[in-house]
Amino acid sequence: MEHNRILIVDDEKLISWSLSAMLSKAGYAVETAANGSEAINKFSLFKPDMALLDIRLPDADGLDLLRQFKLRDKELSVIMITANADVDSAVMALKLGAEDYIGKPFNMEALRHVIDKAFEKRQLREKLDFFREELRKKTEHDKLVGNSASMVNLFKMIKVCADTDAKTVLILGESGTGKELVARAIHNHSARTEAPFAEVNCAAIPETLLESELFGHEKGAYTDASKRRKGIFELAEGGTVFLDEIGDMPFSMQAKVLKVIETKRFRRLGAEEDIQADVRIIAATHQDLPAMVKERRFRGDLFYRLNVMNIPLPPLRERTDDIPSLVQYFIERLNEEYGLRVEGVSPETMAYLTGYGWPGNVREMRNAIERSMMLEDSRILTPAFLSAEIKQQHEKAQNKSPHADSDASATGPARHSFARGHITIPAGGISLEELERQLILMGLEISGGNQTKAAKYLKMSRDTLRYRMKKFGLSEPFGKDEWCGMKTGEDAQRLFPHLAS
């Protein structure tokens, strides 16, 4: 275990000695100093986390020492020890940043309590910023939307991974397919959900800083290390560490991560003792790791360790069924974010969106919707503000389709889209069958998967709806909110009985 360090500064030998004995026994690392100059020396060498400072010293004023210590390390916790007559200076000490003070003669138990409390507070402070950031992310990205067969499969895998805590998980998928979202979903639905989810992007951090980012460092471990810092393995204690872009992790670092997985221990840079790691590791990459292993750019042993549970995320172009629900979801979110009142996209726009290859996957689609929402005046988004790539791809596809060709031979291709009321026929024509499929999907989407309601929206009988769903190969859809509102394993079983193992 890593010991918290306490420096005791008091000229009364007996007090120093008995405090030192009591605190060492309680598991703290302790040093003592009997005067100001010794205190300054020990402070530099010992790098304490806490100082117990007598206000009256033979060669110095405790308050001066407090100022000097705080200048060098503003995170240092200081408890003043003071004779009762010095209560005014003790109050002054609090103003200068001391944590607390205790009067002489003191009760050992009371002092011990003050010290433990100060360490607890310090730990809270250290985690506070971290949690704040976490909270922001949690509320920002909590929904995993989609009702295609592959998404249903994905939800199932998330549930299995969340319940199988001991195993590492490897998430593979192109950029923008939702790897981070999946990693967070596993964490949020696991028993570790109350503990932190800490991520590090291995591609974004220079090799020299990555080790300290992961494992932390001691004060003075390298030139710029002016104070001790915890790494994410320590900050995520009890929770999940998400190693994003693991394919970009330097080879030397891969060996160290492998060791943590194998031994469940790690060491801060510059430290002499190991720290126990109680974390679950989830890794993700868009790279082809098996190929990298073959080319000796990624360690085979680490790949083998990470790949115990493997979640492949299909690119968006392979699950176009999800596009309508994603579009609707992003419109709702962005309406909230920007105070807009967009209602949806025209069928023509939907045809553009479902026909595009989305190399940047869901992220690229979100950006396309955002851009259209910013630029478009009407409440139904037209293709006007879609990017040139999306338009070009759509036009190419239209020109290639046999339907378009036969039109061309008869009256020539329609150059412009044609609109009447709410209905628009895009340039190049429209597939009635695809339109019907999309309308059925939308009906199901609006009704949250409830077929009776969807049939009402679509003004058809439930049997007709079922017949058409079958015709288009549309399986029983998932309501996105059902998944998103899921908090416990029990909820999961209730909402998704067919996922139960």
Ligand X SMILES: Nc1ncnc2c1ncn2[C@@H]1O[C@H](COP(=O)(O)OP(=O)(O)OP(=O)(O)O)[C@@H](O)[C@H]1O
Residues that bind ligand X (CB under 6 A): 141, 143-146, 173, 175-181, 286, 326, 362-363, 366
**Closer residue to Mg ion in complex, CB, 174/436:** 174
Torsional sign, CA 486, 492, 498, 501: positive
Provide the minimum distance between the beta carbon of 181 and ligand X in the complex, in angstroms, as a whole number: 4
Choose among Mg ion, ligand X, none what residue 175 binds, the Cβ cut-off being 5 to 8 Å by kind: ligand X
Is the separation of the CB atoms in 283 and 326 below 8 Å?
Answer: no
Is the separation of the CB atoms in 33 and 11 below 8 Å?
Answer: no
Provide the minimum distance between the beta carbon of 366 and Mg ion in the complex, in angstroms, as a whole number: 13
Provide the minimum distance between the beta carbon of 179 and Mg ion in the complex, in angstroms, as a whole number: 5
**Closer residue to ligand X in complex, CB, 176/355:** 176
Coil, strand or helix at 368: helix
**Closer residue to ligand X in complex, CB, 178/324:** 178
**Closer residue to Mg ion in complex, CB, 35/367:** 367
Provide the minimum distance between the beta carbon of 368 and ligand X in the complex, in angstroms, as a whole number: 12
Which DSSP helix (H) or strand (E) runs through 48? none
Following CA atoms 453, 457, 463, 466 in sequence, which dihedral angle do they give, to the nearest 10 degrees? -80
**Closer residue to Mg ion in complex, CB, 180/211:** 180
Beta bridge partners of 32: 8
- Candidates 71-79, 180-188, 301-309, 326-334; binding stretch for Mg ion (CB under 5 A): 180-188
**Closer residue to ligand X in complex, CB, 237/245:** 245
Choose among ligand X, Mg ion, none what residue 366 binds, the Cβ cut-off being 5 to 8 Å by kind: ligand X
Token pair of 444 as six digits: 């199901």
Choose among Mg ion, ligand X, none what residue 181 binds, the Cβ cut-off being 5 to 8 Å by kind: ligand X
Choose among Mg ion, ligand X, none what residue 212 binds, the Cβ cut-off being 5 to 8 Å by kind: none
Out of 2, 73, 180, 376, point to the residue binding Mg ion (CB under 5 A): 180
**Closer residue to ligand X in complex, CB, 187/286:** 286
Choose among Mg ion, ligand X, none what residue 314 binds, the Cβ cut-off being 5 to 8 Å by kind: none
CA 95/CA 279 separation, integer angstroms: 39
CA 400/CA 256 separation, integer angstroms: 53
Provide the minimum distance between the beta carbon of 286 and Mg ion in the complex, in angstroms, as a whole number: 8
- Candidates 31-39, 140-148, 172-180, 460-468; binding stretch for Mg ion (CB under 5 A): 172-180
Q: In sequence order, which ranges of 193-273 are alpha helices (DSSP H)?
A: 207-215, 232-235, 251-263
In DSSP notation, 1-23 reads: -PPPEEEEE-S-HHHHHHHHHHH
Provide the minimum distance between the beta carbon of 284 and Mg ion in the complex, in angstroms, as a whole number: 6
**Closer residue to ligand X in complex, CB, 21/374:** 374
Which DSSP helix (H) or strand (E) runs through 485? none
Provide the minimum distance between the beta carbon of 285 and ligand X in the complex, in angstroms, as a whole number: 8
CA 100/CA 102 separation, integer angstroms: 7
CA 459/CA 440 separation, integer angstroms: 11
Token pair of 25 as six digits: 């026994």
- Candidates 137-145, 176-184, 291-299, 466-474; binding stretch for Mg ion (CB under 5 A): 176-184
Is the separation of the CB atoms in 102 and 111 below 8 Å?
Answer: yes
Is the separation of the CB atoms in 325 and 147 below 8 Å?
Answer: yes
Provide the minimum distance between the beta carbon of 484 and Mg ion in the complex, in angstroms, as a whole number: 19
CA 39/CA 20 separation, integer angstroms: 15
Choose among Mg ion, ligand X, none what residue 143 binds, the Cβ cut-off being 5 to 8 Å by kind: ligand X
**C-alpha distances in angstroms, 339 versus 335, 346, 458?**
5, 21, 29
Tell me the chain's radius of gyration from C-alpha atoms.
Answer: 31
Provide the minimum distance between the beta carbon of 499 and ligand X in the complex, in angstroms, as a whole number: 17
**Closer residue to ligand X in complex, CB, 214/326:** 326
Q: Which residues bind Mg ion (CB under 5 A)?
A: 179-180
